[in-house]
């Protein structure tokens, strides 16, 4: 379709001016007014069926532009046109609908053009009705006489009424090792901006997900909850603009969601298309439904090999850091096999020849084994793993370079920088993925490392610094601000190429912990490193938050010594995620080794439930009031089996909570076992689903940092071994 505008009289008015989108359990309706301007007529659970009670013009703008009908509210799309004009007024031009990738799904593009300029914006949506999560984004192109500049380019901008008690929940804290901190606050008049910066690992500051309870506090089972996730491996922004309504308690909220445009205005040449990040969102009844929807959609549309049960990983990072040699690693591989792990993961520090990687200040970029530490290279380690019947995995950080490295000495011009001297962060620079040779190099890192480590079937992909000096020599001087957006696409291209070239290699996504945990980047990975903070006390709450959005199969959770907590408690916390160890297994005494082996046995019996079952949250560690305890369950789809994790996080004077294990079949009898991991599970009898749902098991923990793992199996089900 050529771009047409009213000046040449070629605007193709759409016959039916009302566009409905059924997202699966909720949706929206847009309608064009007599001038072709789009308004949001309906949104929410019955939004796709909304009737036009009055002319469309009386409804809010569907996606406000600067210079549009509402001059006193912030726009979601703000452009400077080629001739310097700063306003944009869009009219409906047509609607394109095609079938989506799954049965019953569709992709809709609502095409608009500017009244005056040869400028086009498409408002795009892809349904996933099976889950009720809707993906939306915008596409912009033009045929103006020169480049246009995009200053704001939000992916969605819904408007809705909220009550006086409306709340917003964000996830993120102080940065490194403080991911997924839960903060709920009331939405009051004004604009609340929740954003992130830093380019490579922005989600360390704030995860790109947001929850809004428009009518005040919701709970697991009821109350409206809107959940949004920005699929963007870069800086993100949520902006909630709340305005009072005269004489009413209700307020107007305009929510703008997308890439963070700060410093990232995009200069778009004629004939090129700008595509915003996808925002995936849903309008649920209760937090359980929000999670059910996001988990189903993540499995269907995001995760690689979603049905493959993830391995029990033993990593060496926390036990050795950079200080190891072949003998030490072979010893750890042996111990990993002894406790029953599936895979040994060799972390940072195995490479560097002329600049050995003895610390984080050298070697990054030189992906050859350090022969001082590993005289036989990686082969003897892989042989040791194979001999013991476990898999081998390896750590790489392909996008980074230490100044003290052969790579930097050969290619000092490959790093991200502006015109100043680049600044080091963790003694390293980030490579510029907009340079073609850099992308090829990054892809080749995997080819080279995997070729030299034949038999390796798992790679942890790390990235340990933010962008501090934005700029790219691959971009013209007047396009430098495009780098923030272009880097994400270039990095994703590298990830896509790596995943395609090594389809059988499992990939873990890591960036100084969870600095890249978003549903966009995750598409090329099997799992992510949730946080470097592995203190189980913190982890209960982090995993609680993260689990609202991501299934446990993706959420790596390793037992470490962080926080000095009792080992059974640390194991119980890790067992509710993708279980693994990052402990010096060779230094454990007999009792602790037994705890680890017992935990592996629990993982073997329960990991299919944890990774593929339905998450039910029973006792919240983040709710207002008592935050001292947590309990959650995973239940198989047939309600035959469940595993319940109970955590006494802190001492508490509050009365013990009811342990209502609902979601089982009321009429079925279940065999129940309980363990605190200091002993093997002990049978506690047979209870019906109705009894378990009614509190037949009581909270039985009193001391801080203790836990119980409760396994429940329908009496006819044979235990897995
Ligand atoms: C940061 C990661 O989060 C850690 O697990 C570890 O891999 C280090 N990087 C290694 O440098």
pLDDT of residue 104: 84
Across 674-700, average pLDDT: 97
pLDDT of residue 590: 96
Residue 532 beta carbon below 6 angstroms from any ligand 1 atom: yes
Same domain flag for 470 and 326: yes
Residue 555 lies in a domain: no
- Token pair in block for residue 428: 């390293």
Q: Is 120's pLDDT higher than 70?
A: yes
512 CA to middle of ligand 1, Å? Answer: 6
Containing structural domain, residue 653: 614-714
Same domain flag for 270 and 361: no
Residue 100 lies in a domain: yes
Residue 582 beta carbon below 6 angstroms from any ligand 1 atom: no
pLDDT > 70 in the chain, percent: 97
460 CA to middle of ligand 1, Å? Answer: 9
Q: Atom 10 in ligand 1: which residue has the minimum CA distance? A: 348
Q: Atom 9 in ligand 1: which residue has the minimum CA distance? A: 512
Whole-angstrom Cα distance, residue 418 to residue 600? 49
Q: Atom 2 in ligand 1: which residue has the minimum CA distance? A: 512
207 CA to middle of ligand 1, Å? Answer: 19
Buried b (16+ CB within 10 A) or exposed e, 561-599: bbbebbbbbbbbbbbbbbbbbbbbbeebeeebbbbbebb
Residue 347 beta carbon below 6 angstroms from any ligand 1 atom: yes
- Token pair in block for residue 679: 């002993």
Q: Is 111's pLDDT higher than 80?
A: yes
15 CA to middle of ligand 1, Å? Answer: 57
Quote the number of domains for the chain. 3
pTM: 0.97
Across 262-270, average pLDDT: 98
> The CATH number of the domain where 98 resides is what?
2.70.98.60
Q: Atom 11 in ligand 1: which residue has the minimum CA distance? A: 348
Q: Is 14's pLDDT higher than 50?
A: no
Whole-angstrom Cα distance, residue 289 to residue 26? 12
597 CA to middle of ligand 1, Å? Answer: 25
Q: Give the tens place of pLDDT for each residue, 328-366.
A: 999 999 999 999 999 999 999 999 999 999 999 999 999
Residue 395 beta carbon below 6 angstroms from any ligand 1 atom: yes
Residue 630 lies in a domain: yes
Whole-angstrom Cα distance, residue 178 to residue 538? 9
612 CA to middle of ligand 1, Å? Answer: 27
Query: Shortest CA distance to 637 belongs to which of 575, 692, 714, 695?
Result: 714
Q: Atom 1 in ligand 1: which residue has the minimum CA distance? A: 512
Whole-angstrom Cα distance, residue 360 to residue 324? 14
Atom of ligand 1 nearest to the CA of 531: 3
Paired with 109 in beta bridges are: 96, 124
The burial class, CB within 10 Å (0-12 / 13-18 / 19+), for 464 is buried
Same domain flag for 270 and 330: no
Which residue has 């963007």 as its token pair? 232
Residue 376 lies in a domain: yes
Of the pLDDT bands very low, low, confident and very high (cuts 50, 70, 90), residue 101 is confident
Does residue 526 contact residue 504 with C-beta atoms inside 8 Å?
A: no
Residue 334 φ/ψ, nearest 5 degrees: -60, -50
Whole-angstrom Cα distance, residue 105 to residue 121? 23
Paired with 185 in beta bridges are: 168
Of the pLDDT bands very low, low, confident and very high (cuts 50, 70, 90), residue 100 is confident
429 CA to middle of ligand 1, Å? Answer: 16
Paired with 136 in beta bridges are: 125, 279
Q: For Cα atoms 334, 339, 340, give the angle at the middle one, nearest 5 degrees.
A: 95
Atom of ligand 1 nearest to the CA of 510: 3
Whole-angstrom Cα distance, residue 645 to residue 636? 15
Domain's final residue, options 452, 481, 515: 515
Helix, strand or coil for residue 385?
Answer: helix
Contacts of 499 (CB under 8 A, 6+ apart): 304, 507, 524, 525
Test site for ligand 1: of 204, 319, 347, 402, most ligand atoms within 8 A of the Cβ: 347
Whole-angstrom Cα distance, residue 120 to residue 118? 7
Same domain flag for 478 and 625: no
Residue 587 lies in a domain: no
Atom of ligand 1 nearest to the CA of 532: 3
Whole-angstrom Cα distance, residue 530 to residue 511? 9
DSSP 8-state secondary structure symbol assigned to residue 666? T
Domain's final residue, options 252, 276, 300: 276
- Token pair in block for residue 616: 């039910």
Whole-angstrom Cα distance, residue 248 to residue 179? 38
Residue 390 lies in a domain: yes
- Token pair in block for residue 117: 């300029």
Same domain flag for 272 and 342: no
Residue 127 beta carbon below 6 angstroms from any ligand 1 atom: no
Same domain flag for 328 and 270: no
57 CA to middle of ligand 1, Å? Answer: 54
Same domain flag for 271 and 337: no
Contacts of 330 (CB under 8 A, 6+ apart): 380, 381, 384
Which residue has 């100044």 as its token pair? 403
Residue 317 beta carbon below 6 angstroms from any ligand 1 atom: yes
Which residue has 């591989």 as its token pair? 333
Whole-angstrom Cα distance, residue 630 to residue 405? 47
Does residue 266 contact residue 274 with C-beta atoms inside 8 Å?
A: yes
Q: Is 503's pLDDT higher than 60?
A: yes
Whole-angstrom Cα distance, residue 281 to residue 135? 7
Residue 363 beta carbon below 6 angstroms from any ligand 1 atom: no
Please tell me the least confidently modeled range out of 13-17, 141-145, 446-450, 544-548: 13-17
pLDDT of residue 48: 97
589 CA to middle of ligand 1, Å? Answer: 26
Query: Shortest CA distance to 569 belongs to which of 653, 646, 654?
Result: 646
Residue 514 beta carbon below 6 angstroms from any ligand 1 atom: no
572 CA to middle of ligand 1, Å? Answer: 23
- Token pair in block for residue 385: 């793993």
Residue 322 beta carbon below 6 angstroms from any ligand 1 atom: no
Same domain flag for 483 and 343: yes
> The CATH number of the domain where 625 resides is what?
2.60.40.1180
Residue 530 beta carbon below 6 angstroms from any ligand 1 atom: no
Decide the pairing of beta strands 209-213 and 224-231: antiparallel
Q: Is 8's pLDDT higher than 90?
A: no
Q: Is 2's pLDDT higher than 80?
A: no
- Token pair in block for residue 664: 């089982």
397 CA to middle of ligand 1, Å? Answer: 9
CA gyration radius for the chain?
27
Q: Give the tens place of pLDDT for each residue, 21-79.
A: 999 999 999 999 999 999 999 999 999 999 999 999 999 999 999 999 888 889 999 99
Q: For Cα atoms 112, 153, 16, give the angle at the middle one, nearest 5 degrees.
A: 20
Query: Shortest CA distance to 405 belongs to which of 436, 378, 367, 447?
Result: 367
Same domain flag for 442 and 385: yes
Whole-angstrom Cα distance, residue 544 to residue 207? 14
Test site for ligand 1: of 462, 527, 528, 530, most ligand atoms within 8 A of the Cβ: 462
Same domain flag for 504 and 630: no
404 CA to middle of ligand 1, Å? Answer: 19
591 CA to middle of ligand 1, Å? Answer: 29
Q: Give the tens place of pLDDT for each residue, 615-643.
A: 999 999 997 678 899 999 999 999 999 99
Q: Give the tens place of pLDDT for each residue, 181-225.
A: 999 999 999 999 999 999 999 999 999 999 999 999 999 999 999
List strand residue ranges (DSSP E) for 431-505, in order. 456-461
Atom of ligand 1 nearest to the CA of 395: 7
Domain's final residue, options 452, 487, 515: 515
pLDDT of residue 717: 59
Paired with 77 in beta bridges are: 65, 153
Residue 464 beta carbon below 6 angstroms from any ligand 1 atom: yes
Atom of ligand 1 nearest to the CA of 582: 5
Does residue 339 contact residue 600 with C-beta atoms inside 8 Å?
A: yes
Of the pLDDT bands very low, low, confident and very high (cuts 50, 70, 90), residue 279 is very high
326 CA to middle of ligand 1, Å? Answer: 20
Residue 651 lies in a domain: yes
Mean of pLDDT over the chain: 95
Residue 529 beta carbon below 6 angstroms from any ligand 1 atom: yes
Across 301-306, average pLDDT: 98
Residue 552 lies in a domain: no
Helix boundaries (H) for 311-401: 317-320, 326-339, 379-387
- Token pair in block for residue 286: 């209760």
410 CA to middle of ligand 1, Å? Answer: 26
Q: Is 169's pLDDT higher than 70?
A: yes
Whole-angstrom Cα distance, residue 29 to residue 300? 26
Whole-angstrom Cα distance, residue 37 to residue 63? 10
Which residue has 């050795």 as its token pair? 320
Query: Where on the phi/psi map is residue 357: left (φ > 0), alpha (ψ -120 to 50), or beta?
Result: beta
398 CA to middle of ligand 1, Å? Answer: 13
Residue 513 beta carbon below 6 angstroms from any ligand 1 atom: yes
DSSP states of 31-54 = EE-TTS-EEEEEEETTGGG---SS
- Token pair in block for residue 138: 């915008």
Residue 348 beta carbon below 6 angstroms from any ligand 1 atom: yes
Test site for ligand 1: of 201, 324, 357, 464, most ligand atoms within 8 A of the Cβ: 464
> The CATH number of the domain where 345 resides is what?
3.20.20.70
514 CA to middle of ligand 1, Å? Answer: 10
Does residue 121 contact residue 93 with C-beta atoms inside 8 Å?
A: no
Q: How far is CA 553 from the centre of its chain?
A: 13
Same domain flag for 352 and 270: no
494 CA to middle of ligand 1, Å? Answer: 20
Same domain flag for 272 and 341: no
């Amino acid at each position: 379709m050529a771009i047409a505008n009213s000046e040449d009289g070629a605007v193709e008015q759409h016959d039916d001016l009302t566009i409905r989108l059924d997202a699966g359990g909720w949706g929206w309706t847009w309608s064009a007014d007599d001038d072709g301007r789009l308004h949001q007529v309906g949104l929410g659970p019955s939004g796709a069926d909304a009737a036009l009670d009055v002319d469309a013009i009386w409804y809010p703008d569907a996606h406000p532009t600067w210079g549009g009908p509402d001059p006193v509210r912030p726009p979601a799309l703000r452009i400077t046109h080629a001739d310097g004009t700063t306003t944009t007024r869009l009219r409906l031009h047509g609607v394109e609908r095609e079938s989506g990738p799954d049965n019953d799904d569709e992709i809709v593009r609502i095409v608009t053009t500017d009244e005056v300029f040869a400028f086009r914006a498409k408002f795009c949506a892809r349904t996933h009705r099976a889950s009720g999560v809707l993906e939306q984004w915008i596409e912009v192109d033009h045929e103006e006489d020169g480049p246009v500049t995009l200053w704001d380019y939000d992916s969605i901008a819904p408007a809705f009424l909220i009550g006086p008690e409306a709340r917003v929940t964000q996830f993120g804290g102080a940065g490194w090792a403080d991911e997924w901190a839960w903060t709920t606050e009331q939405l009051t008049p004004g604009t609340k901006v929740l954003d992130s910066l830093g380019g490579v690992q922005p989600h360390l500051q704030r995860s790109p997900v947001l929850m809004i309870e428009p009518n005040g506090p919701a709970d697991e089972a009821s109350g409206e909850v809107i959940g949004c996730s920005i699929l963007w491996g870069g800086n993100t922004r949520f902006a909630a603009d709340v305005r009072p309504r005269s004489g009413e308690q209700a307020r107007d909220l305009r929510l703008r969601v997308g890439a963070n445009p700060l410093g990232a205005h995009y200069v778009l040449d004629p004939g090129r298309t700008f595509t915003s990040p996808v925002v995936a969102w849903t309008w649920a009844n209760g937090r359980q439904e929000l999670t059910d929807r996001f988990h189903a959609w993540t499995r269907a549309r995001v995760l690689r090999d979603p049905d493959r049960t993830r391995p029990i990983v033993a990593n060496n990072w926390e036990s050795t850091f950079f200080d190891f040699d072949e003998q030490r690693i072979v010893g750890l591989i042996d111990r990993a096999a002894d406790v029953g792990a599936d895979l040994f993961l060799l972390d940072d520090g195995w490479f560097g020849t002329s600049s050995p990687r003895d610390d984080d200040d050298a070697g990054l970029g030189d992906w050859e084994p350090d022969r001082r530490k590993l005289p036989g290279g990686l082969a003897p380690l892989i042989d040791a793993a194979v001999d013991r019947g476990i898999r081998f995995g390896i750590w790489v950080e392909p996008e980074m370079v230490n100044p003290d490295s052969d790579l930097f000495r050969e290619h000092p011009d490959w790093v991200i920088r502006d015109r100043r001297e680049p600044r080091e962060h963790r003694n390293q620079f980030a490579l510029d993925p907009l340079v073609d040779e850099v992308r090829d190099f990054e892809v080749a890192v995997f080819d080279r490392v995997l070729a030299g480590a034949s038999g390796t079937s798992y790679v942890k992909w790390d990235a340990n610094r933010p962008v501090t000096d934005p700029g790219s020599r691959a971009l013209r001087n007047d396009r430098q601000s495009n780098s923030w957006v272009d880097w994400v696409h270039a990095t994703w291209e590298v990830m896509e190429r790596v995943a395609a070239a090594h389809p059988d290699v499992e990939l873990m996504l890591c960036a100084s912990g969870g600095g890249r945990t978003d549903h966009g980047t995750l598409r090329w990975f099997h799992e992510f490193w949730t946080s470097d903070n592995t203190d189980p006390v913190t982890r209960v709450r982090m995993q609680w938050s993260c689990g609202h959005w991501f299934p446990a199969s993706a959420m790596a959770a390793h037992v470490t010594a962080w926080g000095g907590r009792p080992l059974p408690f640390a194991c119980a916390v890790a067992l509710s995620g993708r279980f693994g160890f990052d402990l010096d297994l060779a230094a454990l005494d007999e009792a602790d080794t037994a705890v680890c082996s017992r935990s592996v046995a629990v993982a073997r019996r329960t990991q299919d439930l944890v990774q593929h079952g339905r998450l039910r949250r029973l006792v919240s560690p983040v709710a207002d009031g008592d935050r001292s305890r947590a309990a959650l369950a995973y239940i198989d789809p047939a309600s035959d089996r469940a595993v319940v994790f109970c955590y006494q996080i802190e001492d508490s004077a509050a009365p013990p909570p009811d342990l209502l294990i609902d979601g089982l079949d009321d009429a079925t009898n279940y065999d129940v076992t309980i363990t605190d991991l200091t002993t093997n599970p002990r049978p506690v009898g047979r209870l019906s689903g109705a009894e378990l749902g009614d509190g037949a098991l009581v909270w039985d923990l009193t001391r801080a940092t203790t836990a119980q793992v409760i396994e429940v199996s329908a009496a006819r089900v044979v235990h897995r071994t």
